[in-house]
Amino acid sequence: MATELAEALDARKKRVIVWLSGLFIGLLLLLTLASNTLLTLHLPKVRTELGREGALVTTWRGTARLMPRQHVDLSNKGEWSISEVHVKEGDYVAKGQTLITYENSAAEQEILDVQAGLAGQRLTLVDLQDEYIEAVQNGDEMQVRRSKRELERAQLAIDVQERKVSTMQSEASDRRRIIAPFDGVVTVVNAIPQLPAGSGGPDISLMNAQQGYQFEILIPDDVGQKLRTEEKMNVEIEREGDRVPVEGIITEIHPMTGVDAGASYQERTGEEAYQAAASRRVVVKVQHPNIQTNDLVSVEITQSEKREGGMLVLSQAIHQEGRNSYVLVMEERSGPLGNTFIVRKAPVQLGGTNGQETLVLQGVYMKDRIIVESSEPLTEGQRVRG
Amino acid sequence: MKKKGFIRNLSVTLLMACIGIMILSPIVITFTNSFMTEHEIQGNYGLVGKMPVVTQGEPDVFVNLKLIPDWLSFEQYGSVLLETPTYLFMLWNSVAMVVAIIAGQTVVSALAAYAFAKLRFKGREKWFRVYLMTMLMPFQVTLVPNYIIADKLRLMNTAGAIILPGIFAAFGVFMLRQFMLSIPYALVEAAQMDGAGHYRIFYRIMLPLMKPGIAALIVLLFVDYWNMVEQPLIFLEDSFKQPLSLYLSRIHKDAQGIGFAASLIYMTPMVLLFLYAESYFIEGIQMSGIKG
Amino acid sequence: MKWNRLSRRESMVAVTFLLPSTIGFALFYLIPFGMGLVYSVLDHTVGGSFVGLSNYQELLSSGSFRKAVSNTFWFTAVNVPVMLMLSLGIALMLNRNLYLRRFLRMAYVLPLVVPVASVVMVWQVLFDWNGSLNAWMHAAGLEQVDWMKSAWARVVVSVFYLWKHIGYNIILFLAGLQSIPRDYYETADLEGAGKWYQCYGITLVYLTPMMVFVVLMSIMNTFKIFRETYLIAGDYPHDSIYTLQHYMNNMFLAMDVQKLSAAATLMVIGIYIIVAMLLRLEKRYTHFME
């Protein structure tokens, strides 16, 4: 009887304990789920991306202005004033075509003066002939010889004067006009009728149509390393809003170390300002019927770099610590309440970058989830929410 | 005669009760103090751990150990359970590790114990003595080699570094062997007569008979591993992997205000288990004491 | 012949039963132990060469090691007898037909299941310099004692040790007491033996095997006092409670593998000697009884 009672009591006690335990465990579970959710909400939010396999495509853009390959300035060499301009800027001209005519009244006057002097000398010559004839008739030996010498001297003076007239005349006809030395395009006309020549620089500029255009551009070494002369280069020329793809040929490459690459009109895409440590000046020849001097040329050089085992990572995911680079990787760890995410620091070895993406040679793997953005600064070992 | 015995009995009972209350007092204090507000805890025990120099001149400043809280409050529980997610996280770490160890060790050692208790083979006693010796070693004795092995097996800083050695500890083998020795060998022989193999005997006869022994083992292992401090201290670096015991060892420095409630929640499963399976627990200890 | 074959087959079965346990046991206990032995006679962990016993020499000449050994020794030498007497006394009293017996037994056993870490707070409140024990002593007109930072720390740890482990021994003694047949006492009563003789002549004699076991377990538990000390005193306890386990732990943290291995080996040898001695003692005693 007593043992039965004790057993009954014992069984009751055990039931109570079981009940209490169930309550305890249930409560803890509930709270754990709730508080774990709370904890998770407090965690910094991160955005991750996987590394991408592929070649690093580096794109470099630069612009330049087109320049004619051959360019000639023509001017009147004398102090002539312009009488008429036969062409205007942009005109195509053929070789030998007259471009500008000039006039110079003083020069013409001088020719006339010289010619008049010449006529006088000729008259004097006739006088001397007469004198000579008279002397011969007189039989005056001395007189004859004297007259003959006078006659020859006068003849010489006339010859000199005649040559002078002819050069003056040819000079005058030369300066009277400028003709095109080759087929080409008029680029600049400075000449204005009725004004003296050379008052505002060269009177007229011509470019050679046969030779085409060229432009010069400074290309940083790391991009331009693979460029060679005689190689083709695709460029685009902007014309009145259109972009005309044109093929250019590299004619010259000059290394320019340590020169500030006149980066005023060359800009590297991406955030980091380009530092002209070493660059090269590249001259590219372009031929196309529809282009003109000063047209804007844009050059785009794409280079793809691929390394075995390397992968591409967004540049914003890469952090610096002194000279070392690292990325933060989100690791999944299984815990008693599902999986948790932990930040791990992975030191990496970097290859090149194109501003947006960076080639990572070592340190992370394809399956690593690399943190590219986070709601707050992260430290290693921190829990985050993915 | 009878009356004299009664008085003597009563006085002994009183004496024993006094000692018992002293023994229980830390637990009782923890229990009652867990219902104080954090503010009250700070007020009473804030001086703990302060430099003695501070009070050298005026030794009247002491902590105020109080049994009954001024105000019955669940503030500490609220803080522990709602605002300290790490606590619950580590609690489940403890649970996960303990459960894994118990499950593993019970299975592994039941098999081994059968061999040691009921099978005859050469070197049985010697081999068993080797098991016994390791059971007596402090954990530190094999600290370095254990560390190296855990490192080789890539277990460092994972729960595996705690669980695997736990599974293969010698204690379960010892306990269950002791228990199995009390099962008469005649049972095995009788089954063999009926043509049963050892696997069948183990599964059909021994396991059902071993239930009390296994229950005792489970209780003892639970107590032992719920308490563990040294192994996680060495093998687990990340705090979010550590069991609750390590958290509590820091709590009096980090968060004194919630210390009592945190302690109480930590000991509750143990106390409940003990109350439920007291007889198994006591039998288990007695079993380990029987000379085998 | 037939038996031989049968036993060989049984050996095979035994191997399959033992296999899972043995693999793990070897991996996590035996191999580490062997490695520790080897490390203790090498000068480097990796690629070391044999240096004989020089590690041991160095170890024995180190002051902190000797300190740790003597602390451990004294801790054991004092606490094991105290523990034995206390637990035996309590067990004897509990063995009577007391009121509240179950409750009392539960009270004594409960510390065994309560995690050490969860009562550390109370312990600190009690034994701090500003703690309540000092408050009571001050009220009684006594000098304050810095419990944890003086030689008294030994006492504190001892109390903790007794508190924690006494239940275990009480249970064992109770089991031992109950296994003594009642007739013995009845016979002794009839023969007119006094209470004290009964206690000495019957109880203690029949409890001896159990007592050997209790002593053994108590010694082992004093060797494992690190956990309790770590929890109440932290990484750097007072000198007086700096035990072998602390020493080994610190050697580990300092990565002084050689000293640690040598210390571990010495400790294992010590444990082995203690165990062997106790078992021999027990064997002789039981032999004597028969």
CATH of the domain at A273: 2.40.30
- Report yes or no: B74 at the A interface, CB cutoff 8 Å: no
Pick the closest to residue B162 from B177, B176, B146 (CA basis).
B146
Q: What is the pLDDT of residue A270?
A: 40
Structure tokens at A184: 């080409």
Sign of CA dihedral A215, A219, A223, A227: positive
Flag whether residue C36 sits within 8 Å of chain B, measured between CB atoms: yes
Question: Which chains share 3+ C-beta pairs under 8 angstroms with C?
Answer: B
Instruction: Find the DSSP H helices in A225-337.
Output: none
Q: Which residue carries 């420095």 as its tokens?
A: B253
| CATH assignment at residue A319 | 2.40.420.20
Q: Is C200 on the interface with B (CB under 8 A)?
A: no
Chains that touch A (3 or more CB pairs under 8 A): B
Q: What whole-number distance in Å separates Cα of residue C289 and Cα of residue B110?
A: 35
Flag whether pLDDT at B291 surpasses 60.
no
Nearest to C163 among B23, B246, B260 (CB): B23
Contact check, Cβ <8 Å, B256/C121:
yes
Check: CB of residue A310 under 8 Å from CB of residue A351.
Answer: yes
- How many structural domains comprise chain C? 1
Domain around C228: 58-289
Indicate whether A288 and A312 sit together in one domain.
no
Q: How far does the CA of residue C97 sit from the closest CA of chain B (Å)?
A: 8
A 10 A CB-CB count for C136 gives: 13
Residue A324: exposed, middle, or buried by beta-carbon count in 10 A (0-12, 13-18, 19+)?
exposed
Say if CB A385 and CB A43 are below 8 A apart. yes
> CA-to-CA distance for B34 and C7, rounded, in angstroms?
61
CA–CA gap between residue B267 and residue C110 (Å, rounded): 11
Which CATH number fits the domain B92-243+269-289, given the four candidates 1.10.3720.10, 3.20.130.10, 1.10.10.410, 2.40.30.10? 1.10.3720.10
Q: Looking at residue A332, what DSSP letter applies?
A: E
Structure tokens that stand for A274 in this block? 């380009």
**Residue A312 and residue A295 share a domain:** no
Alpha helices, DSSP H, located in chain A: 2-42, 105-138, 141-175, 221-224
Q: Answer for the pair A374, A360: CB distance below 8 angstroms, yes or no.
A: no
Does any domain span residue C45? Answer: no
Distance CA B49, CA B54 (A): 11
In this structure, what DSSP letter does residue A222 have? H
Of A13, A28, A381, the CB nearest to B91: A28
The three-point CA angle B272-B273-B278 to 5° equals 105
The tally of CA atoms less than 13 A away on the side-chain side of residue A222 is 15
Token output for A236: 């685009």
Q: Are residues A237 and A296 in contact, defined by beta-carbon separation less than 8 angstroms? A: yes
Write the CA distances from A73 to A76, B152, C68, integer angstroms.
10, 83, 103
A6 in a structural domain: no
Range of the domain at A330: 46-56+308-384
Q: What is the pLDDT of residues B146-177, one digit of tens each?
A: 888 888 888 888 888 889 989 998 889 988 88
Question: For residue A261, what pLDDT is reported?
Answer: 43
CA atoms in the 13 A half-sphere facing the CB of A174: 11
Size of interface A-B (CB pairs under 8 A): 53
Q: Which of B81, B83, B272 sits opposite A20 (nearest CB)?
A: B272
What pLDDT shows up at residue A337? 46
Which token pair is C288?
């004597």
Residue C84: CATH number of its domain: 1.10.3720.10
Burial class (CB in 10 A: 0-12, 13-18, 19+), B160: middle
Distances (CA, A) of A89 to A69, A166, A190, A197, A218: 18, 35, 10, 17, 30
- Residue B59 has a pLDDT of 52
Which residues in chain A are closer than 8 Å to B268, comparing Cβ atoms?
24
| B240/chain C closest Cα distance in angstroms | 18
Q: Are strands A92-93 and A242-257 parallel, antiparallel or unpaired?
A: unpaired
Q: How many CB atoms lie within 10 A of CB C131?
A: 26
A62: left (phi over 0), alpha (psi -120 to 50) or beta: beta
The pLDDT of residue B254: 64
What chain C residue is nearest to B273 in terms of C-alpha separation? C113
The answer to whether A221 and A237 are in contact (CB under 8 A) is no
- A86 and A172 housed in the same domain: yes
Interchain contact, B120 vs C7, CB within 8 Å:
yes
Of the candidates C88, C96, C92, C107, the residue with the CA atom closest to the CA atom of residue B9: C96
**Could you write out the DSSP letters of every residue in chain B?**
-HHHHHHHHHHHHHHHHHHHHHHHHHHHHHHHHTTS-HHHHHHHHTTTT--GGGGSS-TT------SS-SS---HHHHIIIII-HHHHHHHHHHHHHHHHHHHHHHHHHHHHHHHHHH---TTHHHHHHHHHHHHHS-GGGGHHHHHHHHHHTT-TTSTHHHHHHHHT-HHHHHHHHHHHHTS-HHHHHHHHHTT--HHHIIIIIIHHHHHHHHHHHHHHHHHHHHT--HHHHHH--SGGGS-HHHHHHHHHHH-GGGHHHHHHHHHHHHHHHHHHTHHHHHHHHHHHHS--
| DSSP at C122 | H
CA angle B175/B180/B185 to nearest 5° reads 160
C132/B65 Cβ within 8 A: yes
What does the H/E/C string look like for B186-248?
A: HHHHHHHHCCCCHHHHHHHHHHHHHHHHHHHHHHHHHHHHHCCCHHHHHHCCCHHHCCHHHHH
Q: What per-residue confidence (pLDDT) applies to A273?
A: 41
Task: Name the residue type at position B100.
Answer: A
Last residue of a domain, one of A279, A305, A331: A305
What angle, rounded to 10 degrees, do the helices at C152-178 and C101-113 form? 130
Any idea of the CA torsion for A220, A226, A227, A228, to the nearest 10 degrees? Answer: 140
Question: 0.95 cut: is pTM over it?
Answer: no
- Which residues in chain A (335-364) have CB-CB distances under 8 A to chain B? 335-337, 340
Contact B92 A17 (CB under 8 A): no
Does residue B99 carry a pLDDT above 90?
A: yes
One-letter amino acid for residue A359 of the chain: L
Q: Which helix (H) or strand (E) holds A302?
A: strand A296-305
pLDDT tens-digit profile, chain A (386 residues): 456 777 777 888 888 888 998 998 888 888 877 766 666 666 777 888 887 777 777 777 788 887 777 778 887 777 777 878 888 887 788 888 888 888 777 777 888 888 888 888 888 888 888 888 888 888 888 888 888 888 888 888 888 888 888 888 888 777 777 888 888 888 788 777 777 776 667 788 887 877 778 888 888 777 777 777 777 777 888 777 777 788 888 888 887 755 444 444 444 444 344 444 567 788 888 877 777 777 788 887 777 766 666 788 888 888 887 778 888 888 877 544 456 788 888 888 887 777 778 888 877 887 888 888 887 777 777 777 76
Asked whether residue C29 is domain-assigned, the answer is no
**In a structure prediction context, what are the per-residue pLDDT tens digits for chain C, which is 290 residues long?**
445 666 677 788 888 888 889 899 988 888 888 888 888 888 776 667 777 788 888 888 888 888 888 988 899 999 999 999 999 988 888 887 777 778 888 888 888 888 888 888 888 888 877 778 888 887 887 777 778 778 888 888 899 899 988 988 998 888 888 888 888 778 887 877 777 777 777 788 888 878 888 888 888 888 888 888 888 777 677 888 888 888 888 888 877 888 888 888 888 898 889 888 888 888 887 776 65
Closest listed residue to residue A45, CA positions, set A373, A333, A339, A329: A373
Burial class (CB in 10 A: 0-12, 13-18, 19+), B173: buried
Nearest in space to A371 (alpha carbons), one of A333, A328, A339, A341: A328
Q: Half-sphere exposure of A77 toward its Cβ, with a 13 Å CA cutoff?
A: 5
Q: pLDDT averaged over chain B?
A: 83
Give pLDDT tens digits for B66-80: 788 887 888 888 877
Q: Are residues A81 and A52 in the same domain?
A: no
Residue B54 has pLDDT above 60, yes or no: no
Domain residue ranges of chain B, discontinuous segments joined by +: 92-243+269-289
Residue C84: the pLDDT is 92
Q: Which tokens go with B287?
A: 């079993």
Tokens of B282: 């006591």
How far apart are the C-alpha atoms of C177 and C195, rounded to whole Å? 15
Nearest to A47 by CA among A375, A295, A307: A375
Instruction: Give the pLDDT score at C178.
Output: 84
In this structure, are A299 and A339 located in the same domain? no
Q: What is the pLDDT of residue C271?
A: 87
